[in-house]
Every structure is written in structure tokens, then in C-alpha cells.
Structure 1
Amino acid sequence: MLKRLFWALFLSIIFSFFCLALVHFSKGSVVFASSPQNISKELQKEIQSNLNLDKPLLEQYFSWLKRALSFDFGHSLLSGQSVNELLKEAFPNSLRLALTALVLLFLLSIFLALLSLMYENSFFDKALNALCLSFFALPSFAISLVLILFFSVYLGILPSSGTSKPFFEESLNDLFLHLILPVLALVLSHLALFLRIARTSFKQSLNQSFIEAAFARGLSKKRIYFHFVLKDALSPIITYFGASAVGFLMNAYVIEQVFSYAGVGALFIESVLFKDYPVILALSVLSIFAVVFINLLTELLAMMINPRKALI
């Protein structure tokens, strides 16, 4: 665990510097976020000087890194708010969305993979594969737009954006209604891949000698699949979920932007567009540590469920 944490710290330092370099050399400026684009060059230089953007790149980075090591990520160049306060507002929303989608995706993948394997080559199996692959072929933002069009515009039963209605922030029912479409978009965009991984893992488990012995003893098919096969195959499936954390997290950021969901993703994209580097660097570091934590957690869970398979 200590090695993982040191590795995460090393990655954070390396990638945060690359993020700053990319932002620094890209077009645009944070100056234009709060000022008209036809302002004079003298005024542009004055604003950049006030924001310390006229200093050399390495000097800007080490100044930020010194503060970041004491958990002070500075202030947003766009709003002037503390980055820590911005993260405190956005992170719980993103955590709620990502965890809900991940848990639902995991349970659906396991359940549907077992069912498709039990009824292999049936109409249910073929229809499920065709439907999941259809959603997988679409980009996540396209799935989001289709869901908004159908459930919000045509049917009018679900909200199309935001995390809650104004003055209903404490209502659990309202928070749940605003979660449904983003979670559904995240799950549908990943379901085909995770379903295939789960099914492959279950098929490999069926070839184990103790599974064949269970069939020979005359145990029911349902008991064998949901008890023996599930326990044997669960460890590599959980490990794969952890390995896919980066792609899942980046997809969640895109979907947050489509649904105007007030989370880390929307904040990240807005910061990149306007070169708000204190927010970009803080979110990059946070994302790296989140991915390392998810990977570590899934490996520990896999080892607890099946130590022999986890070690292999």
C-alpha cells in the first residue's frame, strides 16, 4: 500500500506538470473568461501579471507544488474561489454519480452474464448481446442525448440536467430523479464490455474440475452457477473493474458535462477551456489518486474473495 501511495504521488507530480505545460502552450487565455476579447495588449499583460501568469513555467509549477504539498491548491483564476471549496462542492456529486453507476454496472454485468450463460444461444442471449452492442457502438454523449430526448422531451418524466431543482437540494427523491439519466448513460455505454468480460470469466470457471464434480453430484444448475461459478469467477471480474477505472472516470466527466451535472467533470472541462490551471492541476491529482485507490481497493476485495485466484 505504501508503494502504491508513493507511486501515486510520483505520477501526480509528473502528470500535473505535463497538464500545466499543455495548458500553458495551448491557445486561449483565462484573461478572456472575464474580459472582452478586444481588450488592449497592455491590459492583457497587466491581468496576466496580476495572476502571476507572466512568470516562467517552472517557477509557476513549483510555486503551485509547494502549496499543493500542504493541501492548499490555491484559488481559481476564473471565479477567485478557493479550489478546495470548489472541490468540496463538486466532489460529493461526482462521487454519488460514479459509485451509483459502478455498483449498478457491476451487479447488472454479473447477473446478465450468468443468465446469458445459463441460456446460451437462446433468443434471450442473442437479443441481450445485440442490444448491449448497439449501445456500445454509440459514444456516451450520444446515448445521453437520446435519453434526454426520450425521457425528458417526449415523455417529460425525468429532469434533463442539474443535480437537483432549486430549493430542493436536500430532497432525496429529487436527487434520485436527477441521477437516473446520467447513471443510465454511464451504465449503457459500458455494459457490453463488462458483460463480455464477466461471461468469459464464468466460462473459464465452468472448466474447473470442482465445477464438473458439482454437476456430477447432481446439484441444481442454478445453485452451481450462482454459488460455485460466481465465487470462482468474481475475483478476476473485480480486478478488471479496477483496471477500467480510468476510462470509466473520464466517461463520467463527459456525461456530467452533457447533463450540466454540477460535478468534477463539468468543473474540469470548464477549467480546461479557460486555462484555469490551479483547478486543472488539483483535479488531475485528485483523479490520479482516485484511480490508484480504486485499483487498490478492488485488488484487496479480489484477494479476500478468492486468495488463490488473486495471486495468480
Structure 2
Amino acid sequence: MALALLGIFGNGENDLRAIGRLVFGIFALWGVSFLGFVLIYYSQGSVAFANVSQGMSPAMRFQIEENLNLHRPLLDQYQTWLFQVLRGDFSTSLMSGESVSSIIAERIPYTLILGGSAFVLLIFFSIILAFLSLWSSSLDRCIAFLGMGFVSLPTFSLGLLLILFLSVKWSVFPSSGASDIGMEDQISNRLLHLALPVMTLVISHLGIFTQFVRTTLIDALNQEFIQFGLARGLSLFYIYMHWVLKYALSPIVAYFSASFVSFMMGTYVVEGVFSYGGIGQTLINGLIFKDYPLVLAILLMSFASVLVVNFLADCLCAKLNQGRV
């Protein structure tokens, strides 16, 4: 399948570059898993506290960790986990005893819905606002001021501000959860719960994305073929939609794919702020209680998704560059 996708590039140099990135990605997956395991191994906390609300004696903590084979040396634990993963078994969660695969399968739809809808809206609004900033200098200053002002706020701070005003003070949207109890099947209720997390993600990234798209569009407008189109008497709308956007689309796609990592991490943080119940909240709980099978599975899945998104973006950019002036 990878070779079929590589056929999109159309020349040997790009093919070799894409293959090299895939090979690097495989080794990077191993490196991420090992580094993550080392950091979890030496971090504070213990899975023994996951299901115990009161304090426990050191002897009881040691006994629980010994029962879970956490007393073994680092390399022995990592080797056992790695061989299980290579066989397709992500083991079980140390906190709950459930299969890690089943936990991820249950909660990943929430993350995909939240992150996917927010990313699509972010792309749409950044392009619209970038075009608006080109039409009016006053709009340009206003968009830049508001956008960069919200970007300067940490994601969790912006989420808490939206909860304060739109949920606590004005009661427009619910403040947490994916749905109300007993209303899980109502799409309208789920959309209401989705509103604040999506707004947080979009607003926190919109300023930077809009400024990049604006800069790219200005670069496209400075090309000679734009003056040729104006000399032919073509309408500005036609030139913007068919020439400017087509020329700028390749760097825009490349930038959006490169920013996917920070956007995904922001999604995980937002899930924790709004108790949305997705992969992000699960990852945070796993880190707190050193549930390394669950944490490493989520890290590998996240890193693999980044590789896939960047590879597909490379394919799309190569296709767009074939028709770029």
C-alpha cells in the first residue's frame, strides 16, 4: 500500500525521500516507546495508589507493585512489553485490569470527533479570515490583535475562561462531559457538550494559522502571473479562487500537517479540562498513576497518526506542486 501511495509523487527523488521518512518513522516509534518507558519508570507516583483512597504502608505498596511485576529491572520490563506489542498484544491496564486495546477503542471516537471537527473548522476559518484581512487593513489589524491575543493564553486557561463565561455565568453551554446522563443518543445534546472544547481548540490556534495563511496568500499575490490575470481583465474573485488559492495551497497543507503534533497535544489537554472522556483524559490518568502499558500504547498511536498525517500531506503537496505555476 505504501508503494502505491508513493506512485503519486511521480519521480524517484521524492519516492526515496518518502521511503526514508517511513523508515525513520519506524525507528522513531521504537525510540519514543523506549524514552517514554524510561520517563515513566523513573517518575514519581505508583499505580498502587490508583484504587486506594487512603494512605498505605510501604510494605503494602511494595506488595502491590511486586504482584504487577513492577519490581523487575527497567530493561526486563521493557523487553517483556515490547515483545508483547510485536505480537499485537498491548497488554492490560495496571489501573483497571482491562485490555488496553479495548480502552482505546472505547474512547478514541470521542477524540476523533473533537479533534477532527476542530481541525476542519480551524482550516476553514483561518482561510476565511486570511482573505478578509487582505480586503481591509482595519480588519487585518483587528484579526491580528485578537488572534495573537488568544494564542498567548495557555489552552487550559482559555478553556477555563470559556467555562466561566459561557457555562457558569451565562449558562449557554454545558461545562463538562460528552453528554448528559441518559441523553447519550441525542445528537443535539452531544453537540452542545462539544461546543466549548471545539471553541477552545479553534480559538487557541486560529491566530497563528490565520497569519501564516495570510502571509502565503500575499506571496502568491506577488507572483507575475497574478498581474497577467489582472491585465486580461479577470475578476478578483476568479483570480483568488483559481490562481491565488491554488498556488498557496501546497505550503498551507505542509504547515497544517507540521502543526498537527501541537494541535493533537492541545486536544488531549482540552479533553482533560472539559472531562470529555477521550484519549487525552485517559493519558493524563495513566501518567499520574504510572500505568505504562496504557500510556505507551497511546503515545505509539499518537506518534503513528502524526507519521500518517505527514506522509499523506507529502503526497498531497507533491500532487499540488505538479500543477503549481
Smaller-chain TM-score range? over 0.9
What residue number does 1:87 align with? Answer: 104
Q: Distance in 2 between matches of 1:125 and 1:8?
A: 39
Structure 1 residue 108 corresponds to structure 2 residue 125: yes
Aligned position for 2:58: 41
Instruction: For 2:318 and 2:124, locate their aligned partners in 1 and report how far apart those are by CA, in whole Å.
Output: 19
Instruction: Find the counterpart in structure 1 of residue 114 from structure 2.
Output: 97
Corresponding residue number in structure 1 for 2:150: 135
Task: Report the counterpart of residue 78 of structure 1 in structure 2.
Answer: 95
Deviation at 1:127, TM superposition (A): 1.3
Question: Contact conserved, 1:87 with 1:264, CA < 8 A, in 2?
Answer: yes
Aligned CA distance change for structure 1 residues 221 and 309 (closer, same or farther; 3 Å)? closer
Equivalence map 1:222-237=2 (5 Å):
222-237=237-252
Q: Which amino acid aligns with 2:48?
A: V
Of residues 295, 314, 320 in structure 2, which corresponds to 1:299? 314
Aligned runs of 1:102-181 on 2, under 5 Å?
102-119=119-136, 121=137, 123-181=138-196
Contact 1:236 1:309 (C-alpha < 8 Å) held by counterparts: no
Between stretches 262-271 and 221-230, larger displacement belongs to 221-230
Paired residue for 2:74, among 57, 60, 65? 57
Deviations along 1:206-225, one digit per CA (max 9) or x if unpaired, are 12121110111122222211
Give, in whole Å, the separation in 2 of the partners of 1:148 and 1:262.
17
TM-score scaled by length of structure 1? 0.94
Residue among 211, 217, 220 paired with 2:235 = 220
Residue 274 of structure 2 corresponds to residue 259 of structure 1: yes
Q: Is the 8 A contact 1:12 1:284 kept in 2?
A: no
Task: Choose which of 217, 224, 235 in structure 2 pairs with 1:202.
Answer: 217
Cα distance in 2 for residues equivalent to 1:306 and 1:111: 23
The CA RMSD over aligned residues, in Å, is 1.6
Residue 143 (structure 1) shift: 0.9
Q: Within 1, Cα distance between the matches of 2:149 and 2:55?
A: 47
Aligned partners of 2:81 and 2:91 also within 8 Å: yes
Distance 1:254 1:101 in 2: 14
Residue type matched to 1:102 in 2? Answer: F
Count of matched residue positions in the alignment of Structure 1 and Structure 2: 308
Secondary structure of the 1:157 match is coil
Q: Which amino acid aligns with 1:67?
A: Q
Cα drift, residue 308 of structure 1 = 5.4
2:258 & 2:140 partners in 1: Cα distance?
27
- Residues 198-255 of structure 1, C-alpha deviation per residue, up to 9 Å, x if partnerless? 0111111112121110111122222211221011101110111001111111111111
1:54 shift after superposition = 0.7
Distance 1:228 1:114 in 2: 14
Deviation at 1:74, TM superposition (A): 0.7
Deviation at 1:37, TM superposition (A): 5.9
SS of the residue aligned with 2:130? helix
**Structure 1 residue runs without a partner (length 5+):** none
The answer to whether the 8 A contact 2:226-2:243 is kept is yes
User: In the alignment, residue 205 of structure 2 is paired with which amino acid?
Assistant: H
Quote the residue 1:245 is aligned against. Answer: 260
- In the alignment, the residues of structure 2 paired with residue 43 and residue 159 of structure 1 have an alpha-carbon distance, to the nearest angstrom, of 41
Q: CA deviation at 1:80?
A: 1.0
Shift, 1:309, TM fit: 5.0
Structure 2, unmatched stretches of 5+, are 4-18
Query: How far did residue 191 of structure 1 move?
Result: 0.6
Residues 243 and 295, structure 1, Cα contact 8 Å, conserved in 2: yes
User: Which whole-Å CA distance do the structure 2 matches of 1:5 and 1:267 have between them?
Assistant: 28
Q: Hey, what's the Cα distance between the residues in 1 that align with 2:306 and 2:271?
A: 18
TM-score, normalised on structure 2? Answer: 0.91
